[in-house]
Structure 1
Amino acid sequence: MTVSFRAMIDDLRQAGQIEDIEKSVDIRHIAALVDKADKALIFHNVIDYTMPVVSGIATARERIGTAFGCDYGAVYERLDAGLTTPIDPVEVNSGPVREIVQSGDDVDLFDLPVPLFSIHDGGPMITAGVTVGRGTDGAFNAGIYRFLVREKNLTGIDIVTPNDMQRLALDAFRAGKPLPISINLGTHLAVNMAATFRAPLGQNELAIAGGIAGEAIRMTPCETIDVPCIADAEIVLEAEILPTGWTRPEGRFGEFTRLMGGLHWNPQVRIKAISRRRDALYYALHMPWEVILPGAPNREAAVRRAFKTASLDLVDVNITPGGSCYFHAIVSIRKRPGDAKHAIMAALIASDIKHVVVVDEDIDVFNGTDVEWAIATRFQADRDVVTIPDLRAKPLDPSLRITPGITPVTAKIGIDATIPDDLPRERFERIEYAYADTLDLADFTGQAKDDSEPQRAPVDIADLAAQVKDLLADEPVYFAALAERFEDQGFKTLARALGELHRDGVLWQDGQGRLCLAGSEFAAEPPPSI
């Protein structure tokens, strides 16, 4: 897998997942057109701009899988490989992103085709900036943050949420210094995914990206700051977060919650240089789905690692789109006594997940009807709910109660929708249809050909009843098994024979509903209340 935005575009194009828009397009129309499209779009002729705009790469699971060269369901495995076997980035003298460099008065952000997404956004937002900063200890940190374009060389940066970049900025501000950062636009999804993974401070997200891709990310020095940039990016902004504190209003913005966020107060960023490819593509990460869907493997990997640490036998995980691939998880396990509650705790602690449903291995976690059925038939609210108050919250959660000056917290909930250990297993036996594994409806549709009924020899009902009685003397048998055993006599004839046994008071049933002889050791006894 070649770790460049350009190679990823080529892969998507070969898979038929890119559509080129050659007609002139107003930049204000891009967001709505991407939202209506079933492919990623490249706008080659954006009115008043010379640079093409790419958007919608990650608005579908299929395209994310193509970018990683696997099925979407296996993307978490690539991330896990990056976490387990990271590959450190390598430094190169230059790269495609250094083909054109503008600095000083030549810096002009207004030449970049930065769209307006939602109608109530505070202005054009750079949404796909993989931002690399260096701490006072020399360790790198990478994350994706948004930048509100204010002036030709000035933006905001949204680091109001507690994160590692905020910590680095605070350290620099305490020393009265700006924090140098490179803002890398147009990078492979492997880089984007690693940058959004909540790695411990000091763990290099770019090394995780290398592990995901199976090759090192190439880094090259910037010209105006002592922080490297990604050599194969489309565009790089060399910048400094100014030590002005969280003093400028920024936003609103359509968030990953699929809701409009509020006004934030954030620092300012001075752009010192812009470098780019000669034929650079501007990647406008489309909100909210290009954040939602690529985020699921991150949280899935976190849950899987937590379950492995907890020695839980995990079957599958669904980080649901309905929960913005952030707040909700459905997990299936092979359960031992006590495992369901343990699984709830592990999932809720693993990430910012605030609702988790735990089901048995027979439940398809990607089938909402199946999961709802498990809750309806296996769950009791007075014993199968785990609620944990006062945990770390995602500030963008609109349901939080906000008190100015106080960090908000959230309550988390887990639902144990597994079969209770203390209830009879037969209560939860699924319906099965006879011959479902051998019949094909296509064999019975269309015009009939030689569809004569089988010729059966005459059967003595009393004789057949005696045969059934002899069989049931040894063991109880389900009606369907009897029908198969006496298939040659025909279903109707067997039913008549059983009718004779019922009439004579010979036929009964055992506790599982199988046919047996009345008065036998297998015969069910009526409960005392009847």
Structure 2
Amino acid sequence: MVLGFREAIDAQRKAGQLRDIDRPVDIRYLGTLIEESETALLFNNVVGYDFPVVAGVMNDRERMALAYGCPFNDIQAKLREGVARPIPHETVNTGAVREICYQSGDDVDLFSLPVPLFAQKDGGPMITPGVTIASDGKGGYNAGVYRNLIREKNLTGIDLVTPNDLRRIAEQNTLEGKPTPISISIGTHPAVTLATSYRPPLGVDEIEIAGGILGAPVQLTPCATVDVPCVADAEIVLEAEILPTGWTKPEGRFGEFTRIMGALHWNPHVRVKAIYTRKNPIYWALHMPWEVAWLCAVIQEASLRQSLHEANIDVKAVNITPGGTCFFHAVIAISGRVGEGKQAIHAAFAADDFKQVIVVDEDVDVYNPLEVEWAVATRVQADSDVVIASGMRTKPLDPSLNLITGRMPTTAKMGIDATMAPDIPRARFERISYAFAEEIDTEAYLNADDATVDASDETDIAALAAEIRSVVDDAPTYHSDLIKQFWSAGAMNVNRAIGQLHETGDLWQDEEGRICLKDSPSAAVPPGSKLTNRID
């Protein structure tokens, strides 16, 4: 496990997945430069700003794997481990983020931070990766990731539209006419971002989940101007409070993880009281949509695997597909008993906000869309293998929903059971495998200078036919296996010998297409024939 934001960046740099840009860069171009880059980018000279900017840190599977120090598919297991075995945070009186008081009081100027405008129709520059910590009123802390639209030099919005614990805390304080103290930690280890984006079971602390993922306590340090802590090794922290304005201020729009522009929201305002940083801080501009989408993929897979585990489904692979915005669609490979395809679909429906679930057999590569579509095309009957469930929980960000003010939306979900039907012979689903593929290295063969001799002109076809007849008398044999067994004779001569046996009426085929003797008990019988063993 890689510990620390800087170490995660270094790991990506060493693997060629992060590129340092030292030339002067105009902040107006950052969004497009990241979107079109094949690596994460660290802009060391953003014109007019004090801090470098890094973005694209979690834009794909490989970069996330480097940040977590494990294969991408294992990150969800680390999240589940963190949920099952959380590690309490550790409070320290120091920390890198406490090293410099960058601005405080009337000197706070959020416009001095290198916060880019991402989408053309965003409502303004958005602080995107901040881990927001608030007191839960019960002696513990609530943590989550929320965007902050910069409004004034010390004022932002905060997106609290979706019902969650922070909204509940802020609503209660608003009713009492008092602000909600918060800290916003920017540039924490991606594991902290992951844990605080996760919707944990009731009573489970998100910061403790992060500790469980990391295998070590997350260190928190007290803030100077608000009575809540921040992440001690963050790059930058904003000490702030949610004002008791209620949900009355326009906020957004914003390019969401769905790759669609979100609607204008109504949210409270946040007053920033101080900005602290570590020495030589790096501002993390979490890039939409993919840095959030791949985060969602891990969270969705963890939730899905847990639900499938509880349903006793033998899961072989899971893909939360990028085409489904790493959130709404899942492909699941299973090795199961009769009926488990549909059982897996219902378990997935219950797990989270999936709209489409495709269940396939373990021979199908869930990461290959061609393979998945092939399974649907060859193993599905729509009237029996498609499951529709209506009136189910969903995310309001789905633009296909009919949203009604004051009412939580619901959605319809579709599951496709693309596993092989148990009452159809498996031979009907047998894939093509190419003859003699195991005998050859294609590139080496095509690039070799020496010629390969296929056949001998001196082969005695009659003698070869007799040998072949003896082989198929012992057991039905595929044509390719006969060529392999008599390899030195060459394909042409083996084909001639088999042809000779057909001319003499000796050969037939069994139900699987193997060559056998015509009077063999294995010989296939034409449909409707009363004969059982012999065809004349």
TM-score range (shorter-chain normalised) is over 0.9
> C-alpha displacement at 1:257, in angstroms?
0.6
> C-alpha displacement at 1:456, in angstroms?
5.9
Q: Distance in 1 between matches of 2:297 and 2:448?
A: 49
1:270-322 CA-partner distances (Å, limit 9, x unpaired): 21222222422211111111111222121111122222222111101111111
Q: Distance in 2 between matches of 1:322 and 1:232?
A: 35
> C-alpha displacement at 1:18, in angstroms?
2.7
> C-alpha displacement at 1:21, in angstroms?
2.3
> C-alpha displacement at 1:525, in angstroms?
1.8
User: For the Cα contact (< 8 Å) 2:454–2:490, is it kept in 1?
Assistant: no
* 1:494 alignment partner AA: V
Partner of 2:197: 196
Partner of 2:509: 509
User: For the Cα contact (< 8 Å) 1:456–1:489, is it kept in 2?
Assistant: no
Partner of 2:180: 179
Cα distance 1:37–1:473, how it changes in 2: closer, same or farther (>3 A)?
Answer: closer
Query: Once superposed, which parts of structure 1, at least 4 consecutive aligned residues long, lie more than 4 Å away?
Result: 450-457
SS, match of residue 356 in structure 1:
strand
User: For the Cα contact (< 8 Å) 2:99–2:279, is it kept in 1?
Assistant: yes
User: For the Cα contact (< 8 Å) 1:139–1:202, is it kept in 2?
Assistant: no
Cα distance 1:458–1:348, how it changes in 2: closer, same or farther (>3 A)?
Answer: same
Q: Distance in 2 between matches of 1:485 and 1:479?
A: 10
SS, match of residue 66 in structure 1:
helix
Q: CA RMSD in A?
A: 2.1
Cα distance 1:484–1:12, how it changes in 2: closer, same or farther (>3 A)?
Answer: closer
SS, match of residue 523 in structure 1:
coil
* 1:263 alignment partner AA: L
**What does 1:395-406 correspond to in 2, within 5 Å?**
395-406=396-407
Partner of 1:85: 85
1:465-508 CA-partner distances (Å, limit 9, x unpaired): 44434443343222122223333443323322332332333322
User: For the Cα contact (< 8 Å) 1:44–1:52, is it kept in 2?
Assistant: yes
Q: Distance in 2 between matches of 1:62 and 1:467?
A: 55
* 2:343 alignment partner AA: H
User: For the Cα contact (< 8 Å) 1:136–1:172, is it kept in 2?
Assistant: no
> C-alpha displacement at 1:376, in angstroms?
0.8
Partner of 2:533: none
Unaligned runs of 5+ in 2: 531-536
Cα distance 1:435–1:410, how it changes in 2: closer, same or farther (>3 A)?
Answer: same
Cα distance 1:452–1:525, how it changes in 2: closer, same or farther (>3 A)?
Answer: closer
> C-alpha displacement at 1:512, in angstroms?
1.3
1:15-57 CA-partner distances (Å, limit 9, x unpaired): 3333222222222111111112222222222222222222121
Comparing 89-98 with 165-174, which one deviates more in the overlay?
165-174
> C-alpha displacement at 1:147, in angstroms?
0.6
> C-alpha displacement at 1:519, in angstroms?
4.1
User: For the Cα contact (< 8 Å) 1:155–1:270, is it kept in 2?
Assistant: yes
Q: Distance in 1 between matches of 2:11 and 2:520?
A: 70
1:407-450 CA-partner distances (Å, limit 9, x unpaired): 11111111111101111111011111222123112443335337
Partner of 1:271: 272
Partner of 1:381: 382
Partner of 1:7: 7
1:77-102 CA-partner distances (Å, limit 9, x unpaired): 32233223221110001212112233
Partner of 2:409: 408
**What does 1:115-154 correspond to in 2, within 5 Å?**
115-154=116-155
Q: Distance in 2 between matches of 1:397 and 1:53?
A: 31
Cα distance 1:208–1:445, how it changes in 2: closer, same or farther (>3 A)?
Answer: same
> C-alpha displacement at 1:529, in angstroms?
9.6
Q: Distance in 2 between matches of 1:188 and 1:445?
A: 49
Q: Distance in 2 between matches of 1:280 and 1:486?
A: 71
User: For the Cα contact (< 8 Å) 1:255–1:288, is it kept in 2?
Assistant: yes
Cα distance 1:458–1:119, how it changes in 2: closer, same or farther (>3 A)?
Answer: closer
**What does 1:67-466 correspond to in 2, within 5 Å?**
67-101=67-101, 102-446=103-447, 448-449=449-450, 455=456, 457-461=458-462, 463-466=463-466
TM-score normalised by L of structure 1? 0.95
Cα distance 1:493–1:131, how it changes in 2: closer, same or farther (>3 A)?
Answer: same
- Provide the aligned length of Structure 1 versus Structure 2: 529
Unaligned runs of 5+ in 1: none
Cα distance 1:173–1:523, how it changes in 2: closer, same or farther (>3 A)?
Answer: same
User: For the Cα contact (< 8 Å) 1:140–1:202, is it kept in 2?
Assistant: no
Comparing 347-356 with 313-322, which one deviates more in the overlay?
347-356
User: For the Cα contact (< 8 Å) 2:349–2:413, is it kept in 1?
Assistant: yes
User: For the Cα contact (< 8 Å) 1:434–1:480, is it kept in 2?
Assistant: yes
> C-alpha displacement at 1:372, in angstroms?
0.9
Q: Distance in 2 between matches of 1:86 and 1:326?
A: 25
SS, match of residue 382 in structure 1:
helix
> C-alpha displacement at 1:330, in angstroms?
0.7
TM-score normalised by L of structure 2? 0.94
Q: Distance in 1 between matches of 2:461 and 2:399?
A: 75
